[in-house]
Each structure stands twice: as structure tokens, then as C-alpha cells.
Amino acid sequence: MLKTALRLGIPISLAVCAGLVCGCGGGISHQGSIASKSPAAKQQQQTYDIAFVRQSDGSNGATPPIGMASGNSGLFLTSDGAAPGSESNILDGGDFWGVDISPDGSTLAFTARDTSGNIQLYLMNIGGGNIVQVTTGQEWPEAPRFSSDGSLVLYDRWDYNIGNAQLFEVPVSGSPEVEITSSDLAALYTYGPSLTPDGSRIVFTGFADAPSIYIVNVDGTQLTQLTNGDWATAMDSFPTVSPDGSYVVFARINWSNMPPCDFTYTCGWNLYQVGITGELVGPAASPLTSDNVSGEPRFLDGDILFLGSPDSASSQIVKMNPDGTGRTQITDTPYFQVFTY
């Protein structure tokens, strides 16, 4: 995201390629956010199990819900196994940033810009009604994630008091938000939480130095660094925890070996994995992907969803086996989309 890039002092041209920009002004201006629900929810005959944000062409003349700013992105739903291009657009004409589906498949948590220019967190039933604004104010909540029981939404939020972002949670019931990360993490810019399956720990990207993957208990204790990122060869981000909780899949970019591509913001990214107990993955470790256009992974029923480029000319949502084999294209659209937080 542009604001994220500016906070970190990253040149905007690099931030776009690194996946840190959500609004670029004119033309392509939004990343897409992908989320998937649990297998149990699919067994309840829920129609959709993948939600994402992407640019829309505005041809339907849609306007955003009252209180939300106008924009050129929308919330979309699809299902694993659906024909590519059959996505359903449930909200459009707004400035949407990220989305997640509750474990029971009934509720969406998403972030969008309000009419005052601030990003806010909202809840909505998956059918597109009963929108509830959860946050207010000028702090920007990002990367919404439901807890394993669906009672909480986790997210990172820019905190002006300490000058960076920290992890927060808010009960779906509407109680006040609670900061998860402790004062010991005040110097660690946190971004993009992903809960372990048992709900006891959170994996996230930390920017104490170069972007690296960290894990912390939900009460903010026992912080552990899982990867050793560096700005030149191993900038690590976008972690997601495996269904069995034993490892983390994340995206890594090597600035010193960038390929000649500019059609997707994931240009230069590949997917790697690291054990949940802290064994570090070095720059020479074998990646799950090696096409240099794979980013922002999510697990869905044991498989991995990620942003890829099957035609080397567009960004699409792709599914593959956990070992990196058996790729299947989920979306088919000419519009720029990625899995934003």
C-alpha cells in the first residue's frame, strides 16, 4: 500500500513491485484481496469459498454503500471448482482494500475507505447485506483475519502514537478493539496477520530491519523470528499457516535477480516455506515456485491459492498442491488483481 511504503521509506517504484501499494492513481489502482473459508463451512453448502478485491471497470454504474468513498474496485466471490470468469460481484464502485471470510462461511470482514478519506473495518453477511462499520477514526486497519472460532477479527493498524503498525483484535459482537502486540514490539512494524489453526499464535510480517516472518502468541508474548529477511536478496512477506499448523508459506522477492516483467506487481516474487518452530529458511532454500510471478499465498482445503500469471501477461488467482505441483487457474479477467491485505 502506498501509505505503507511511505512509512517504511521505500521508493514508490519499488513498493509497487513489492506489493506494498494499493492505490496507484489512474488506470490500474487496486490490489485484490483473497480469502478462503474452512472445509467445515463448505460442507454447510455455502456457495462461495473465495473472496477477493479487484479493480472493476465501472460499467455497471454501481455506487458504494452510504458512508464509503467512491472508487474503482469491488468485492468479488467465487468457488474452488467454478469456471474461471464466473465470479460474483457483491459490492462495487468503492475503494476496497482487503477481505476475509468467517470460518462458518457466513460473514465477510473487509476494509474500505470512508467518505472522510480514512480506511475502516466493516462486517457484512456473505449475501451482501447488513453492513456494520467496526472501526472509526484516522487509524488505518488493514489485513482483516477472523479467529478460528469466528468470534474475533484480527488486523494490523497504523498507530500514530508509536509511529508504526501493530496487531489488534476486535470482537464481532462489537466490543472495543484490543491491542495484541505488547510494548516489547513497539519498534517492530507489524503487517498481515495469519492465525495458527488452534488460534493460539499469530504469524505476521515484521519490519524491525528488513521484512521478515515472525510468530507471536495471541497475548503478544514469545515473539520468534522465523526468517532472516534482507532488502537485497530475501524480502519476506505475506505469510499463511498450513492447515496442520506445522509450517508457514510466504512470498519472497530477490531484488538482485529481478526478471524482465512489469505486468504484475508480484514480478520477482516466489513462494517459500518455513517450519512453525523457527527453523530459518535462507536465500538459497528451494522455493515452492520459481517462475518469479507468484505471490500472496492462502490455504484452501489443504491446497495453496496464490497470485500468479498463467499467461505471463495478467495477474490471476491460481491454485496448486502444497508441493507446488498441479496448478489450476481460478479467475480469468483482464483487470489487475492481487491478494492484498
Q: What mean pLDDT value characterizes the chain?
A: 75
- Give the pLDDT confidence of 241-300 residue by residue, as tens digits: 999 999 999 988 877 766 666 555 567 788 998 888 766 555 456 788 888 778 889 898
Mean pLDDT over 225-243 rounds to: 86
Provide the pLDDT confidence category of residue 59 given band limits of 50, 70 and 90.
low
Q: Residue 130 and residue 124: Cα distance in Å, rounded? A: 5
In this prediction, residues 33-37 reach a mean pLDDT of 64
Q: Is the domain covering 31-146 a CATH 2.130.10.10 domain?
A: no
Task: Give the residue-averaged pLDDT of 185-206.
Answer: 81
Q: Which residue, among 214, 169, 225, has the nearest Cα to 190 in the 3D structure?
A: 214
Domain boundaries, the chain: 1-28, 31-146
Burial of residue 332 (CB within 10 Å: 0-12, 13-18, 19+) is: middle
pLDDT value of residue 30: 33
The predicted-structure confidence for 176-194, as pLDDT tens digits, reads as follows: 888 777 555 555 677 788 8
Residue-level pLDDT at 7: 36
Higher-confidence residue of 161 and 75: namely: 75
Q: Cα separation of 272 and 16, whole Å?
A: 21
**Cβ distance 320 to 303 under 8 Å?**
yes
The confidence band for 13, taking pLDDT boundaries of 50, 70 and 90, is: very low
* pLDDT score recorded for residue 314: 72
